A and B are shown apart, each in its own frame.
Chain A
Amino acid sequence: AQTVTQSQPEMSVQEAETVTLSCTYDTSESDYYLFWYKQPPSRQMILVIRQEAYKQQNATENRFSVNFQKAAKSFSLKISDSQLGDAAMYFCAYRSGGFKTIFGAGTRLFVKA
């Protein structure tokens, strides 16, 4: 069975600094998608970034980028120039060919002014 592990329950970063959130996953599939979702205190979950497993190039969305290491089954999220609005719960998620998305336990990110 596929699993997603986020080993950092909480992280803290100074405003304007860079932070990296870790995620590892386990799967026997070769074709799948990986996602980072952000859930701010208002609780609406939004997609931050996604990565297709067949793509070697790491995905980037403005200040957000990933380090996708397929062989190591690692998918970390780097947030550059952190802003107060980045404070949220971040969920790493996995989906293969089926309908089900498997979420990690989440990392709560605090941003200090």
Chain B
Amino acid sequence: DAMVIQNPRYQVTQFGKPVTLSCSQTLNHNVMYWYQQKSSQAPKLLFHYYDKDFNNEADTPDNFQSRRPNTSFCFLDIRSPGLGDAAMYLCATSRRTSGGAWNEQFFGPGTRLTVL
């Protein structure tokens, strides 16, 4: 089945120690998103890629970076995690057609990040 895969599902890191979360998709979607979701809150968009074009949300801290080496993979790098960065990180994909029509987003299962 086509899907969005996130690894690892659970990640523990130490305060200030860089961490990378990964996302892969078999849907061949041209847009990939990273969201941060804290407990019982709505997902908050950090950034997205439209093909190779990177788009950062204005309020995303500089501590958060992303890479998309190819269509299938996207990474979230947290350079110096703080206690406030503990959250669930959701990857999502969608497809925008050449005509501009949108499809809905497909989400991965998330990676729960714990910062000690």
Residues of A within 8 A of B (CB): 33, 35, 37, 42-47, 50, 89, 91, 95, 97, 99-101, 103-106, 108
| Cα–Cα distance between A32 and B90 once the two chains are bound (Å) | 23
Contact flag A42-B109 (CB < 8 Å), given A47-B104, A99-B31: yes
Contact flag A35-B104 (CB < 8 Å), given A99-B31, A106-B42: yes
Q: Residue on A with the closest CB to B31?
A: A99
- How many chain B residues touch the partner (CB < 8 A)? 23
| Cα–Cα distance between A33 and B104 once the two chains are bound (Å) | 9
Interface presence of B81 (CB below 8 A): no
A47-B104, A101-B45, A103-B42 known; 18 new pairs, CB 8 Å cut-off, are A35-B104, A43-B109, A44-B109, A45-B90, A45-B92, A45-B107, A47-B106, A50-B104, A91-B43, A97-B100, A99-B33, A99-B48, A99-B50, A99-B55, A100-B45, A100-B57, A101-B105, A103-B43
| Cα–Cα distance between A106 and B38 once the two chains are bound (Å) | 12
